[in-house]
Structure 1
């Protein structure tokens, strides 16, 4: 397992919050004030992450790219030459299927890409490499699912990337020699700004097609102020994306 993955899990919520609670317990006798601060930050962080209303606020800050209108779907062939679907990991050894499967997030992207492909007639490329070095690639898993679940044949598979930046770079290496420089990019709404930035840096003209918007009122009980376990997972995804957007602009030029 890459060391960067371990560090990422420890330094981002909820890992860092667990570390704060561990520090609170460790320093409870020798440095009680520090222990108290660590406890408040750790527990308070978990509480904020568990609130659906916090997910809504965070998503609104990140989801800056508007959705495609349904009336635009059929006309995408005049604005782009291919549809690119970005991978999102995989479920390993799903017992129901007897093999690895795309994640639920990935299926949401695939479903939207399939609708766009059928409406526009554009060919599809799936992008995503090996997950922890184990085949098949995310691109291959998505291509198989697109065919069997949505009756859409994937024309190209980019199966080497492990980051959004590499999604863009390796996709450009595959499509540019074919004269394809205009692409519809399908990914989740919070992830879309970083995806658009990466694909434009790679040399593409991008038509963003975001899906999975979270920055809206989802009719949660008590206006979203009632803690929910699912909100913790979504908050973690949004925090990861916020850090990713800043990091990309610092480390990639």
Structure 2
């Protein structure tokens, strides 16, 4: 069964393209026709490095290990739980009117903290989406799902539409001042946590990091492979790492961290 799963990787565009390029380069080298192979070989090497080796996982691990993992039961108490956005998007076609993605751990972890009594209120943040001239809020639809669909009666509030992590930090800082919050539990993906903590700290919010949504293969059970066939997850992982690196540089340039 494992062999079948491995072979199915070659049906996917990424695996199929890598296989064709590997076979073609191997044929050219075997025939000793090596002229003009520098760029194709460089493309193959980059693709192989980031989709077939642990390099992506190592890079992500450098971000995810900045703050220690913590169990819900062991988390400290605070004045509020801040669930950062990025885990869902408004939808006009889904039955629940919300489409959750792989970052949904941000929501489930925040709910775990709230039900354990780690803070008296949970604030959901998120981006803004425009459809046919009308604006929709990620935070609004997530809160609506929790309260109207799941019928939760917990103290959960929406921060409304936010542009980015900096905008979320500024709005939470204003809310913290208004409600006299001394510290908050900040819940977001482990890879995003270093930048999030830096932004919130610069905005004047004292936070306790609660990282979740670990995506490095080194943090997943049963994934101990070294070199493997091309995997889309590795490409998605390097995309996340680059997003954080570029985001850090941009935020630093703007004076937000």
Match runs of 1:110-149 below 5 Å: 110-122=107-119, 123-132=121-130, 135-147=135-147, 148-149=149-150
1:210 aligned onto 2:211:
yes
Deviation at 1:120, TM superposition (A): 2.1
Please give the per-residue CA displacement for 1:165-215, whole angstroms capped at 9, x wherever unaligned: 111011222332111241101000000000111111111110000002234
Q: Kindly tell me: are residues 85 and 223 of structure 1, through their superposed partners in 2, closer, same or farther at Cα, counting changes over 3 Å?
A: same
1:248 aligned onto 2:251:
yes
Distance 2:211 2:84 in 1: 11
- Whichever structure has more helix as a proportion of its residues is 1
Q: Which ranges in structure 1 are unaligned for 5 or more consecutive residues? A: 1-34
Q: Which ranges in structure 2 are unaligned for 5 or more consecutive residues? A: 1-35
Question: What's the TM-score, normalizing by structure 1?
Answer: 0.74
Distance 1:45 1:211 in 2: 29
Q: Kindly tell me: are residues 172 and 109 of structure 1, through their superposed partners in 2, closer, same or farther at Cα, counting changes over 3 Å?
A: same
Deviation at 1:160, TM superposition (A): 2.7
Distance 1:93 1:249 in 2: 33
Distance 1:149 1:241 in 2: 33
Deviation at 1:48, TM superposition (A): 2.6
Q: Number of matched residues? A: 218
Distance 2:63 2:164 in 1: 19
Q: Kindly tell me: are residues 72 and 131 of structure 1, through their superposed partners in 2, closer, same or farther at Cα, counting changes over 3 Å?
A: same
2:230 corresponds to which residue? 227
Distance 2:123 2:39 in 1: 46
